[in-house]
Structure 1
């Protein structure tokens, strides 16, 4: 057991001191800081000064309602009735006295129309604002001409009352589904990123030690299973360190933005009133999913002698987690689909899909237990097989880019 802790601590400390880990973690923390202060950053670089728009109204009926509509939506845009000629207005825009010039008129059917002039039309915000509010003026004029009062129009445009209720008393309500959906989203993305990132890191770490020829000494001094799981847990602790830093800093920044931001964030991701059982399931399926793919990554990493070959050999593992992720994205809208139900019992897919079902539906405990049991049995089977492949694979040198080398690695382990 002492050798296990030595290998584990060596794996953890050697990785946590690397520049890639430190720089990557720092960049992630800076990114979180930027996202939490995004509005302040946007305000810092945006021009919040009042925008003056010159307006000529040939109809003498459109300026006042348009000005009233815009002032209620955006008080930074000010309309000014221009009394000069059209050419003078265009010249004033070119001399930057006004941001734009709008000429209003009535069409043959007495409906509003406008011509918008600006030095450039790359900034379409002001243009869209004027167009949208002029459309509202048109709607008001059209309904007035048709003899429809505003109260009737509002009643017509009001959204229909549509309530969804499940007849099954055990089915989750809309509120419970909304709360669970955020947790499921987070779990799916975190597991996907963790497998891709740390699975590749485990395989690369094994290949790196193997290329330096120190692997033979390590395997001869400690059982393959001990060495393999020391690597896996060492990298897991590295990831946990990174996650704690990221989540801790993120939580502190969100809490510091007290008020609507804090309440909105936690309510959007369903963290406030979610059942504790869902968090427990999230931890269980995350840990089991990580162990499954990490064991597979360590086994595959032991087959290569060069770091350059790692990505090619772990490509099947990457495809597996990608397929699981895509099925899970589909299952978010159809968790009762046969594809999702069947896939939730396939061990390489169940960490994502069974958790998705638990979060979005009321799944019987026996179904979850069967899925977890199959997952644990697969991890044990992979550990036994992985130990044999690991023991023989670390003694294989030369180019290796095919899964056929698994048979050769097992044969070598029997000779030891």
Structure 2
């Protein structure tokens, strides 16, 4: 057991001090910090930009004021000015950057408003959308007035229909609970996906790196393959938790100290609508994350032991990566239909279980035996993979030369017997 912890600590400390780990943590931390301060960054650059002013050529001599009134409802930043010059003069003003663009208001054959917007570039979808919405609302107002509808009648016409959804099952989640569950499940699924795919690859690379140094023969002769393999897995796991804790701390600090809406809402979780999420959902998320990590990291360690060059690692673990991607895509589909038979069946397939069963646990009220069965199958698969993987690992780490095929598993097993 002492050798096991030596391997764990050595793996953890060695990777912790590497430039790649420090730089990647700093880069991700900066990205998270920037996202947490995104509103402040946008506001800063908005102050540097010129105000968005649109010139209005009103060919009807009566649409400008109601159009401006409608636009004020949709946007406070976008301003319009009545322009009395010609279209050619307005074009020159836009080219000289006196205006962002100009819109020509006129009537169509039905005596309803229409518009033509011109600018140096029409890539600013926000400006285009707000101008169109204001003109559409103006058209609706004029059209309803032409057919004799009162404002109160128009309001009733556009009033949203009452549509309540009630689940008949006693233990079914309400619509509000489903929305909250869907949000937190999506976040945790993405978290599991990124963590597993990134750190499992790190384990495979770590094993391949040690083989290139030719020290594996010494290590494997003094430490059992199971101890060696799981020592590395646990060491990388602790390293990943260290990095994730640092990133989450940066993200939480950035959000809680820089977003006014969060300060006034009672905290980060309440701001994102996760304050009422059951503790069991978070616990299951942690359980399936750990089991998923153990499953894929064990597989990654086995595959990493089969290659002799770091360049071959990605090719060897590609099938494993595709499995993780497939599980994530199925889970994304299941967010909309968590009770689908396809989702239910795939949740019991061990390589899909960490994501898909967690999805079902978060979205549905499942009987305890379904959760227990899935966890049992997952743990059993991890144990079986560890026992089989230990044999492959022992022979695989002694294989050198070009090794990038799954046929090498047979060769590794033969070396283990010697």
Unaligned stretches of 5+ in structure 2? Answer: none
Q: 2:313 matched to which residue of 1? A: 310
Q: 1:4 matched to which residue of 2? A: 4
Q: 1:25 matched to which residue of 2? A: 25
Matches of 2:345 and 2:187, distance apart in 1: 23
Deviation at 1:268, TM superposition (A): 6.8
Matches of 2:65 and 2:125, distance apart in 1: 23
What are the superposed Cα offsets for residues 112-151 of structure 1, whole Å, 9 maximum, x if unpaired? 2334444554445444433321222221111111001111
CA contact (8 A) 2:37 2:259 kept: no
Deviation at 1:265, TM superposition (A): 5.4
Matches of 1:228 and 1:100, distance apart in 2: 64
List aligned pairs for 1:84-233, cutoff 5 A: 84-123=85-124, 125-233=126-234
Matches of 1:158 and 1:274, distance apart in 2: 32
Give the alignment's Cα RMSD to 1 decimal: 2.1
Q: Matched residue of 2:398: which SS?
A: coil
Q: Pick closer, same or farther for the CA change 1:340–1:48 going to 2, 3 Å.
A: same
Check if 1:338 corresponds to 2:337.
no
Which of residues 360, 381, 398 is equivalent to 1:395?
A: 398
Check if 1:37 corresponds to 2:37.
yes
What are the superposed Cα offsets for residues 316-339 of structure 1, whole Å, 9 maximum, x if unpaired? 211221221121111111111111
Q: Pick closer, same or farther for the CA change 1:86–1:312 going to 2, 3 Å.
A: closer
What are the superposed Cα offsets for residues 2-26 of structure 1, whole Å, 9 maximum, x if unpaired? 1111111111111111111111100
What are the superposed Cα offsets for residues 186-236 of structure 1, whole Å, 9 maximum, x if unpaired? 222122112211111111111111121100110111111111100000010
TM (norm. structure 1) is: 0.93
CA contact (8 A) 1:208 1:307 kept: yes
CA contact (8 A) 1:51 1:99 kept: yes
Matches of 2:143 and 2:14, distance apart in 1: 73
Q: 1:379 matched to which residue of 2? A: 382
List aligned pairs for 1:290-301, cutoff 5 A: 290-301=293-304
Matches of 1:342 and 1:121, distance apart in 2: 48
Unaligned stretches of 5+ in structure 1? Answer: none
Which of residues 347, 364, 367 is equivalent to 1:364?
A: 367
Check if 1:288 corresponds to 2:294.
no
Deviation at 1:371, TM superposition (A): 1.0
CA contact (8 A) 2:37 2:255 kept: no
Matches of 2:143 and 2:11, distance apart in 1: 74
Matches of 1:118 and 1:336, distance apart in 2: 49
Q: Pick closer, same or farther for the CA change 1:388–1:35 going to 2, 3 Å.
A: same
Deviates more, 1:405-414 or 1:54-63: 54-63
What are the superposed Cα offsets for residues 239-265 of structure 1, whole Å, 9 maximum, x if unpaired? 001000001111112221354246495
Deviation at 1:281, TM superposition (A): 0.8
Matches of 1:193 and 1:83, distance apart in 2: 57
Q: 2:15 matched to which residue of 1? A: 15
Q: Pick closer, same or farther for the CA change 1:69–1:206 going to 2, 3 Å.
A: same
CA contact (8 A) 1:183 1:271 kept: yes
Deviation at 1:75, TM superposition (A): 3.5
Q: Pick closer, same or farther for the CA change 1:56–1:197 going to 2, 3 Å.
A: closer
CA contact (8 A) 1:216 1:395 kept: yes
Deviates more, 1:373-382 or 1:59-68: 59-68
Deviation at 1:291, TM superposition (A): 0.5
CA contact (8 A) 2:307 2:403 kept: yes
* Length, aligned pairs only: 415
Q: Matched residue of 2:40: which SS?
A: helix
